[in-house]
Amino acid sequence: MNGTGTRRAPAARLRIDWAACDGHGACTELLPELLTTDDWGFPVVRGGGRRAEVPAELLRAARRAERSCPVLALRLVREG
């Protein structure tokens, strides 16, 4: 939220390709604010869903998580 109490639009969205994911866990270590692991070690978006809304203050960490995925299972999509 911004100072006026309204929610800001996300700077980007982070998509997880679960078919490609091998559960290495690098993304959840680099972006724990948005991602956690399920019981089998695969990443899941906090709050559920297949896409995580990435606020501007976490964009740098999201880019790093995307680049660190050894099987390219993360995709960062810029908004706007």
Quick one: residue 49, left, alpha or beta (phi over 0 = left, psi -120 to 50 = alpha)? left
Give the model confidence (pLDDT) of 48-71 as tens digits: 877 889 999 999 999 999 999 999
Residue 64 half-sphere exposure, CB side, CA atoms within 13 Å?
10
Give the model confidence (pLDDT) of 24-43 as tens digits: 999 999 999 999 999 998 99
What is the structure's pLDDT at 55? 94
What is the structure's pLDDT at 4? 53
Rounded to two decimals, what is the model's pTM? 0.81
